[in-house]
């Protein structure tokens, strides 16, 4: 079958492309913006990618168009597909119909940490010999691909299903299906990491998001398991709307029967169930958020037969995901990092994680409010808080309809606003000193700012 994917360079749709290729289908696609890491993955898969959504792509006559939620009505190719009566579906529906119906799906949901936790869980199952399939919204460095089929059989265990780990996003499915993506997946194990207001372009308030999370809970069978962050009151409200499955909580501040908690620092800690130590984790990751991600991973892996101590050992060899505090390069003592953070809470967590790593060395935060929520200015008041541990902060304000300088005014001289990438690079390089750490945060390609900074630093320093 020939499948043509609209929005193919998004991390999710790029994963669909990889899975479809592995299934033996011919895959082509298109996107408005083509940038790493998906552009590199697609090139490695020998997938033909067209830049733009021109209507003449209909002449390729694929058997099926798979349409990502990045495109909407008025898109030239979408309009041509509708006029022609061509067959089309969404990415989540394609997954449900073709891959997930006979698998033990382990879904990782939450406002933050989905990608990292899904990668952790996939690696933990791989380390345990289960050869899971997975689709992660990034590229796990333990695998170097964002998606794979894995072992489609259960290994001969009666009644067992082969595991498939999927990052379960609450964002809507497609222009023709406004349900959250994750309601398509029919998981047997679900991690609910956290819940916070986001996606202001499609949700009116946090209660609307809680309702979607409960729709996910409704799809889990009675034999299934919900792995729930005990610290998050909004998730407790979700469960109060109705729950029909086993609930395993993690992250309690004090000892509670049956609840997984951590004792120790985020980089080396014991995992306790009640008062009993069941695992130990020693790894290079920092931050309480990653400690919580590890607890969730261990509880979910147990549901497919991986003992807690085995999962703890697996996490020692976990190497995180590309674009998660990823060091891009160092020039004359100045290090440049790339991170996917775009929500203020994620930005705050990322800056804090780097602060823990570099101590008193200067951190220069460079960011662009690129997500739909941030473009709307819904959370602009939280930006000073999100950047409080940085020594300097530079905002790329191109395309914004709200005043970034005004939003960052509480930071005083600590914050600067630049209207173009070139201006931003010039100002950052002028301010940089040997020993600095430049942290670039965006959920897009950020105009290649990372390499531009390294090149300019090489000239200056």
CATH number at residue 387: 3.90.190.20
Tell me, rounded to whole angstroms, the distance of Cα 30 from its chain centroid.
22
Q: Are residues 134 and 222 in the same domain?
A: yes
Q: Which of 315, 335, 367 is the last residue of a domain?
A: 315
Omega cis (within 30) before 13: no
**Pair 238, 152 in one domain:** yes
Residues 283 and 337 in one domain: no
pLDDT of residue 154: 59
Residue 94 in any domain: the answer is: no
Q: pLDDT class for 130, splitting at 50, 70, 90?
A: very high
Of 129, 44, 127, 104, residue with least CA distance to 319: 127
Choosing from 286, 315, 344, the residue where a domain stops is: 315
Q: Please, which contacts does 211-214 make with residues 24 or more away whose CB atoms are closer than 8 Å?
A: 211/241, 212/170, 212/179, 212/180, 212/182, 212/183, 213/109, 213/170, 213/238, 214/238, 214/241, 214/242
For residue 321, tell me if it sits in a domain. no
Co-location of 414 and 370 in the same domain: yes
CA–CA separation, 228 and 121 (whole Å) = 15
Quick: pLDDT tens for 165-188.
999 999 899 999 999 999 999 999
Indicate if 63 and 83 belong to the same structural domain. yes
The residue-averaged pLDDT of 450-455 equals: 90
- Shared domain check, 365 and 293: no
Give yes or no for residue 331 having a pLDDT over 60. Answer: yes
pLDDT for 258: 86
Residue numbers of the domain that contains 113: 102-315
Q: How far apart are CA 249 and CA 264, in angstroms?
A: 19
d(CA 297, CA 119): 9
Alpha helices in 303-382 (DSSP H): 308-315, 344-358, 372-375
Give me the number of domains the chain comprises: 3
Phi, psi of 43 (to 5 degrees): -60, -40
Q: Predicted confidence band at 365 (pLDDT cuts at 50, 70, 90)?
A: very high
Asked if 120 and 252 sit in the same domain, the reply is yes
The secondary structure of residue 124, as a DSSP letter, is H
Under DSSP, the state recorded for 409 is G
**Structure tokens given for 101:** 């119906």
Q: Per the domain annotation, does 128 fall within a domain?
A: yes
Task: Identify whether 97 is part of a domain.
Answer: no
Per-residue pLDDT, averaged over 223-244, amounts to 96
- What pLDDT is stored for residue 156 in this prediction? 47
% residues pLDDT > 90 (the chain): 67
47-58 residue pLDDT tens: 999 999 999 999
Could you tell me the CATH number of the domain that includes residue 45?
3.40.50.720
pLDDT value for 212: 93
pLDDT tens for each residue of 72-99:
999 999 999 999 999 999 999 999 999 9
Place of tokens 């985020």: 266
Three-class SS state of 282:
strand
Residue 37: pLDDT band with limits 50, 70, 90: low
**Phi, psi of 71, rounded to the nearest 5 degrees:** -105, 155
Same domain, 150 and 263: yes
In this structure, the answer to whether residues 308 and 338 fall within a common structural domain is no
User: Can you give the pTM of this predicted structure?
Assistant: 0.82
Q: Are residues 274 and 411 in the same domain?
A: no
Residue 95 lies in a domain: no
Last residue of a domain, one of 315, 350, 385: 315
225 shares a domain with 206? yes
- Whether 223 is covered by a domain: the verdict is yes
Tell me which residue of 415, 368, 360 sits closest to 387, measured CA to CA.
Answer: 415
CATH number of 232's domain: 3.40.1190.10
pLDDT bucket at 35, cuts 50 / 70 / 90:
low
* Residue 81 sits in the same domain as residue 111: no
């Amino acid at each position: 079958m020939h499948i043509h994917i609209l929005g193919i360079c998004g991390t999710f749709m790029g994963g669909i492309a990889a899975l479809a290729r592995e299934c033996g289908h011919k895959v082509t696609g298109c996107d408005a913006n083509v940038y790493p890491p998906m552009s590199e993955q697609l090139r490695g898969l020998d997938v033909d990618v067209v830049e733009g959504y021109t209507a003449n792509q209909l002449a390729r006559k694929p058997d099926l168009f798979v349409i990502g939620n990045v495109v909407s009505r008025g898109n030239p190719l979408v309009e041509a597909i509708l006029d022609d009566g061509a067959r089309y579906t969404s990415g989540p529906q394609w997954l449900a119909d073709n891959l997930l119906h006979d698998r033990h799906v382990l879904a990782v949901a939450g406002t933050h940490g989905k990608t990292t936790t899904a990668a952790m869980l996939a690696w933990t199952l791989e380390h345990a010999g289960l050869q899971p399939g997975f689709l992660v919204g990034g590229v796990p460095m333990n695998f170097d691909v964002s998606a794979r089929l894995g072992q489609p059989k259960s290994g001969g265990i009666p009644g067992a299903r082969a595991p498939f780990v999927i990052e379960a996003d609450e964002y809507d499915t497609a222009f023709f299906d406004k349900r959250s993506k994750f309601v398509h997946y029919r998981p047997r194990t679900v991690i609910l990491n956290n819940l916070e207001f986001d996606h202001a372009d499609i949700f009116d308030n946090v209660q609307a998001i809680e309702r979607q999370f409960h729709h996910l809970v409704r799809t889990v069978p009675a034999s299934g398991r919900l792995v729930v962050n005990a610290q998050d009151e909004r998730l407790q409200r979700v469960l109060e709307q109705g729950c029909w499955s086993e609930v395993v909580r993690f992250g309690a501040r004090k000892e509670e029967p049956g609840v997984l908690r951590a004792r120790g620092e985020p980089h080396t800690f014991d995992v306790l169930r009640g008062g009993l130590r069941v695992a130990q984790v020693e790894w290079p990751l920092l931050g309480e958020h990653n400690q919580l991600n590890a607890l969730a991973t261990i509880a979910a892996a147990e549901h497919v037969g991986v003992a807690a101590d085995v999962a703890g050992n697996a996490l020692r060899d976990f190497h995180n995901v590309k674009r998660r505090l990823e060091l891009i390069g160092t020039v004359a003592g100045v290090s440049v990092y790339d991170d996917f953070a775009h929500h203020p809470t994620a930005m705050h967590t990322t800056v804090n994680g780097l602060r823990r790593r570099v101590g008193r060395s200067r951190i220069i935060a460079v960011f662009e409010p690129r997500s739909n929520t941030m473009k709307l200015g819904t959370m602009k008041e939280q930006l000073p808080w999100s950047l409080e541990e940085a020594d300097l902060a530079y905002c790329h304000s191109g395309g914004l309809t709200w005043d970034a300088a005004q939003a960052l005014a509480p930071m005083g001289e600590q914050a600067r606003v630049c209207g173009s990438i070139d201006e931003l690079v010039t100002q950052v390089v002028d301010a940089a000193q040997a020993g600095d750490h430049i942290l670039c945060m965006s959920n897009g390609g950020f105009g290649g700012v990372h390499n531009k900074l390294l090149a300019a630093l090489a000239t200056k320093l």
